[in-house]
Amino acid sequence: MSEDHTMTVAVTGSTGFVGRHIVRTLVNRGCTVRALIRDPDKARTTLPVGNVHTVQGDLNDRRSLDTLLEGCQAVVHTVGIIREPHPGDFDKIHVDGTRAILEAAGRNGVSRVIHISALGVRANAPTGYQQSKYAAEKLVRSSGLDWTILRPSLIHGPDGEFMQMVRDMAIGRQAPFVCMPWFARVEITPPVPKPVSARVQPVAVDDVAAAAAACLDRPATIGEVYPLGGSESLTWPEIMEAVRDEHPLATKKKRTCPVPAQLGWAVATVARPLGLAEAIPFGPSEALMATEDSTCSNDKAIRHFGFTPSPFRAGLKSYVAEL
């Protein structure tokens, strides 16, 4: 995408972690952005000034979606939740919300859609998060629009919820204070069961944003699904230890400790009806998904739009002062 690009691009979830980085990347590349927002105060503190026009509303508001998309050439759909506050919210946000933005795009003549999904989504997945994200992908594929789907691994950055959670555990701001827990799958290997970590390819949020922007200018990406991962494959303990070792306020001797994912799932499941869901920093889906490898080949993204994933540890070093 050239610096003098005049494309007008709508972005949903524009004040969220991924959305605000995509807005910033598009503006830096010369686009005009229409940003769907719910909270004007949050928008003022998270979105760049200049070439960003906000539209207040949500995915349930047909009128605000039409205002968002009128006159745009493309839309980047980033809305998603990793935790389900109420039963049915995954389907409401991921499936119904995606349907609403696709229908609005059709009404307003916006044919180009970049859809942000996630690695591991599939129809027979063990979690509602993965199943609902896959159902949203099916809507995108059958929309008749010029779509591209991006499936990133764990997205990291200084303003991301996961990295801030790990930081808080490392510096003793968040329980448990004696260790840094991670969810393990338990393998039955004599003489005793063994906790095993999944492998993850943390991908920088700015790399995901650059990928979304790059796809807009490349017709070859239409009708394609791109897995996106960072350049390093790491275990959960390795990721957490890297944050601990780099952060100046962290307790360097604090250990990581495995927690059986089924136990985490049970705790999170019971917490919701008891009104305690907000007291723990994870939901049932997160506990189970953490046991699955989230790795991929970037070959297709490299070939099609020059995707250049950065290493996790180098990225962490570059922003640890902001974390």
154 close to 294: Cβ distance less than 8 angstroms? yes
Residue 283 clears pLDDT 90, i.e. is over it: yes
Is 72 a residue whose pLDDT tops 50?
yes
Name the CA dihedral angle for 292, 295, 301, 306, rounded to a multiple of 10 degrees.
140
Return the pLDDT at 5.
58
Specify the pLDDT at position 63: 97
pTM metric for this prediction: 0.96
What residues contact residue 234 under an 8 Å CB cut-off, 6+ apart?
Answer: 199, 200, 201, 202, 242, 312
Residue 4 above 70 pLDDT?
no
- Retrieve residue 262's tokens: 């089924």
* Per-residue pLDDT tens digits for 146-201: 999 999 999 999 999 999 999 999 999 998 899 999 999 999 887 888 999 999 99
Placement of tokens 């801030």 in the chain:
164
Asked whether the predicted pLDDT for residue 137 surpasses 90, the reply is: yes
Is pLDDT at 2 greater than 60 in this prediction? no
Are 229 and 153 a contacting pair, CB within 8 Å? yes
Q: Which CATH class is domain 8-155+202-230+294-309?
A: alpha beta
* Structure confidence at residue 74 (pLDDT): 98
Least confident of 65-74, 178-187, 218-227, 264-273: 264-273
The answer on pLDDT for 303 being more than 80 is yes
Q: Write down the pLDDT at residue 199.
A: 98
Q: What percent of the chain has pLDDT over 90?
A: 90
Overall average pLDDT of the 98-110 stretch = 98
